[in-house]
Amino acid sequence: MQFEDTATRHEADPARAVAHAAAPTAVRWRIFWILLLLSSINYIDRASLSVALPIISTEFNLTPAMEGVLLSAFFWTYALMQIPSGLVVDRFKARNIVGMATIAWGACQAFAAGCFHWVPLLLTRLGLGVAESPIMPAGAKLAGSWLTPSERGRGAALLDGGAPLGSAFGAIIITALIAWLGSWRLAFVVAGVGTVVVGVLAWWYIRNHPAEHPGVNSAELAHIEAARRKPNAQAPRERLPLRAVLADRSVLCMFASWACYNSVFYGLMTWMPSYLHKAHGFDLKQMGGATFVIFMCGFIGELFGGWLADTWRAAGGEANRVMKSMFGFAGLASAAAILAVSYASGLVSVVVLLSIALFFIRWCGMFWGVPATLGGQSRAGLLAGAMNFSGNIVGVVVPILIGVIVQTTGTYFLALMFFVVAAFGLAVCASLIDYRDRGLD
């Protein structure tokens, strides 16, 4: 009866019925909210070791240097697999890779619970790096298939936002699981099984192309395909040789900027829980709460930075002025906040200052839009992969380096000074990039 009444009302109001029929569905945005969830879980699982490390270190009798090796192991395989993962995504379709990768890294997370020595634990971290490596390339692939050019910036923001969001919730979720279950091993099993379940659901919902998805209506499909078929009114543009692109000063400074940024972010992600525990006496509950607040400020900062840059550009801001000002200020503000942390003693002041540092450093998520500007669309994927490779190489080095510094000096002061220098280096390198569109193909 209700169906008949509704149909009658639509027939009585043809204009409303046509408008309703023409309204496009929003399957593409649901897919990218799923990808935000996956990238957040990605960081929850990779950060779980950092949260549980004080307990694991005591159980396994680890030195700070050995802790650094364990914390860096994930990045060994994650960095090396960036470019190969992109090739795999192109060959075997993004949907299947997303599903298999998520299930595989959930399994690695769960298997870590069965380790009783640091060597097999190291192997699970290497497996985690391999399994997680295709997610960003797969997200980029899906953005090209599902989003119009004017929507891909928001899609990239959803993908990249998983880093601080997952780091924030990772701390509080893993600490809560450890406290509730009374065991870091059971917490890892629950986290791993949960990841596998989400991976299966993501595979079930995601499709490689809009035409393959049963939930996409004709209006949404027309919206996506019309933007793809839109004729290019510009003349064919220049395409520089790859060697010339890679040797360009702006491209090299982009790589260096991303490496400096990740030196700060990955360094804090891996060592901050131990720093709060050992240097300031945070217990497990305090450590989880503080880490949540700090990384959530990073997530808010990333959203705010993107909004500010778009607003500034929409108001007529020139690309170089906007990007150099924002990246430069982000690096200097983060450096100043971390420098202040090294002299702070109060628990609240330490958390506030680290929150400020993460708020500003996450503005650098906008760097994902720079490769297309510097190399054109035909080189954007390659430059993005190379940029992410350079950034994740420091993920291998920095945790070990911080562990050696802490073990050698017995304090975290020089480790914090390293982060200050890296943030300052970000400001300098980012200021040397020419952000103007080069008109390349």
pLDDT of residue 152: 62
pLDDT of residue 6: 42
pLDDT of residue 331: 95
Dihedral sign from CA coordinates of 159, 39, 118, 416: positive
pLDDT of residue 305: 85
Distance, CA of 367 to CA of 360 (rounded, Å): 13
| Domain at 243-441: CATH architecture | Up-down Bundle (1.20)
pLDDT of residue 239: 59
pLDDT of residue 257: 94
Dihedral sign from CA coordinates of 45, 50, 52, 56: positive
pLDDT of residue 230: 53
- The CATH code belonging to domain 26-225 is 1.20.1250.20
Q: Which residues of the chain have pLDDT under 70?
A: 1-22, 86, 90, 140, 144, 149-156, 227-245, 372, 376-382, 438-441
* Cβ contacts of 368 within 8 Å, gap of 6 or more: 156, 160, 384
Ranges in the chain annotated CATH 1.20.1250.20: 26-225, 243-441
Query: pLDDT tens digits for 187-224?
Result: 999 989 999 999 999 999 998 888 888 888 888 788 87
Long-range Cβ pairs for the range 232-241 (8 Å, 24+): 236/441, 237/376, 237/439, 237/440, 237/441, 238/439, 238/440, 238/441, 239/376, 239/378, 239/440, 239/441, 240/375, 240/376, 240/440
